[in-house]
Amino acid sequence: MNFRKTQPEAADARLDQWDESRAAYVEAPDNELVARTRRRDLAAYEELFRRHHKRVYNIALRVLSNEAEAADITQDVFVRVYDAIGKLKSDDAFLTWLKTMTVNRCRDSLRKRGRLRIESLDARIQQSDGAMASIEIPDDSNNPQDALEKKFLRQSVHKAIASLSPDAREVVTLFYLDGADIATISKIVGSPQGTVKSRLSRARNDLKRKLRHHVEQ
Amino acid sequence: MSKCRKTQDMLSHHRTGLLTERRRAEIEAHVSECAECARELELLDSVMALVEDHIHHHEPPEGLWHGVHNRIKDRRPEPVAVRLGRWIWSPVRAAGAAVAVLAIAAGLYIGVPSRQPAQSMSAAPADDYVRGHVLYAGQGNLADRTASLVLYTASSDTGVRNR
């Protein structure tokens, strides 16, 4: 990926006068925290982790359907990013870079499992202890029947996404769960925009086929 | 391809911002006239709304940061020799080093003068060399060697012819 080299002098000056209180880290934008991390400020990196680890974990969980692997990959990605942060040419590109690392680590993991070309994964999530379980859906409704119905629909959506091919799962996860646009997804997965569009289109057709009975009732 | 088929192929791109304005207008014009395509579009919209409403984030396990922090902190700085070794043995540098070694070896091979004449001289019988030295040493610096070579060449030619 070709990142532009931008390191505004004003940002450097601001970093020199950095107030190292907790509030300064919480309020700082990502690019300032990235610049602090370059200077090996672990508190700044902890704040970046706090902001983005959930995103990394969820991409890994959707692509791999395995809680333990998703947790391992989340940690591994953040260690690697810290090690290689000096190579990041633009502090503003941090998030795209983080997601690219996540997708690449998920692919390595799938390759090791020999599942990269298998069309679908088990729709259930493998828990840390190896047991297979349905995903835990938080109950956010006061009405038990509504809550049950919502839980059922979430499980159905999860199963439908888990049954897609790994390529399609990556694209659907980044588009619908992460809210990334096509150009960003193209950078993250390292494929041309046309390829991403056709994967997304195929995935939408697959999801329509798998979930239509829920909306036709 | 019928217009319905073409429209339904494009429907999966609809409302994703992936279609050109012209394509989107074509689809919407067709859908307003065709009940079957309108039903397909409604179905797709409903399914994607279902996905968007029900895809959700899972909470990661507690304590992930501690693992990251410990792995970063526990790592010791690598010794200079290890870093230098890795620098040298990166694939590109290793290939460059191999090319340089080959180039030097080729240069040495080409640059070294051939030993063939010396071998010829040493192969000349000793009595021919002594005879040449006695006859020609007084005539110049290399006259005896030249004469010896001439004598040896002449005797070799005779040997070949006699064989």
Residues B136 and B130: their CA atoms lie apart, in Å, by 10
CA-based angle B110:B113:B119, to the nearest 5?
130
B77 within domain boundaries? no
In a domain, residue A2? The reply is no
Residue A156 CB contacts under 8 Å (≥ 6 apart), including other chains: A211, A214, B54
Question: Is residue A197 in a domain?
Answer: yes
In this structure, the number of other CB atoms found within 10 A of the CB of residue B123 comes to 9
Instruction: Specify the range with the lowest mean pLDDT, choosing from A68-77, A144-153, B30-39, B82-91.
Output: B82-91
Residue numbers of the domain that contains B33:
3-54
DSSP sequence for A107-167: HHHHHHHT-TT-S---SSEEPTTS-EE--------SSHHHHHHHHHHHHHHHHHHHTS-HH
pLDDT at B4: 85
Query: How far is CA B75 from its chain centroid?
Result: 32
Gyration radius of chain A's alpha carbons: 20
Q: Read off the pTM.
A: 0.64
- Taking an 8 Å cut-off on Cβ atoms, the answer to whether A212 and B58 are in contact is no
**Residue A185 forms part of a structural domain:** yes
Assigned domain for B125 exists? yes
Q: How many domains does chain A have?
A: 1
pLDDT score, position A75: 96
Phi, then psi, of A32 in degrees rounded to 5? -75, -35
Q: What is the pLDDT of residue B93?
A: 79
Q: Is residue A1 part of a domain?
A: no
Task: Evaluate whether residue A163 is within a structural domain.
Answer: yes
- B151 pLDDT more than 80: no
Q: Please give the residue that has the higher pLDDT: either B3 or B105.
A: B105
Asked if residue A151 is part of any domain, the answer here is yes
User: What's the domain range around A180?
Assistant: 9-216
Instruction: Determine the average pLDDT of the residues in A197-217.
Output: 88
B52 min Cα distance to partner chain A (Å): 6
Q: Please state the rounded mean pLDDT for residues A25-48.
A: 92
Which 3 state secondary structure label does DSSP give A28?
coil
A125 occurs within a structural domain: yes
The answer to whether A84 contacts chain B (CB < 8 Å) is: no
pLDDT of A208 reads 92
CA A178 to chain centroid: 7
Q: CA dist B143 to A58, A67, A99, B129, Å? A: 93, 93, 84, 12
User: Could you tell me the CATH number of the domain that includes residue A122?
Assistant: 1.10.10.10
Q: Is residue B26 part of a domain?
A: yes
What's the pLDDT at A45? 95
B127/B54 Cα distance (integer angstroms)? 107
Beta carbons within 10 angstroms of residue A185's beta carbon: 24
Closest CA to B50 of A42, A119, A214, A3: A214
Assigned domain for B111 exists: no
User: Shortest Cα distance from A98 to chain B (angstroms)?
Assistant: 15
**Model confidence at A118, in pLDDT bands (50, 70, 90)?**
very low
Report the residue of B9, B16, B68, B70 to disrupt the A interface, i.e. the one with the largest count of A CBs within 10 Å. Answer: B68
Residue B31 makes CB contacts below 8 A (sequence gap 6+) with B7, B37, B38, B41
Give A159 or A140, the one with higher predicted confidence: A159
Q: Which residue on chain A is closest to B52 by alpha carbon? A: A176
Is residue B92 one of the residues assigned to a domain?
A: no
Domain count for chain B, please give it: 2
Q: Is A107 exposed, middle or buried (0-12, 13-18, 19+ CB in 10 A)?
A: middle
Alpha carbon distance B22, A158 (integer Å): 34
pLDDT of residue A128: 54
With residue A213 as reference, give the H or E element that holds it.
helix A193-216
Query: Rounded to an integer, what distance in angstroms lies between the CA atom of residue A33 and that of residue A97?
Result: 15
Which residues, other chains included, contact A190 with Cβ-Cβ below 8 Å and sequence gap of 6+?
A: A1, A100
Three-state DSSP class for residue A65: coil
Q: Is residue A104 part of a domain?
A: yes
Asked if B65 contacts A46 with a C-beta cutoff of 8 angstroms, the reply is yes
Block residue for tokens 């501690």: B66
Residue A85's contacts (CB-CB under 8 Å, 6 or more residues apart) are A34, A37, A38
Is B124 among the domain residues? yes
Query: Is the per-residue pLDDT at B22 higher than 70?
Result: yes
Contact B72 A135 (CB under 8 A): no
Contact A79, B72 (CB under 8 A): yes
Largest Cα separation within chain B, whole Å, is: 120
Q: List, as ranges, residues 87-126 from A with C-beta within 8 Å of B.
A: none
The Cα B78–Cα A111 span in angstroms is 30
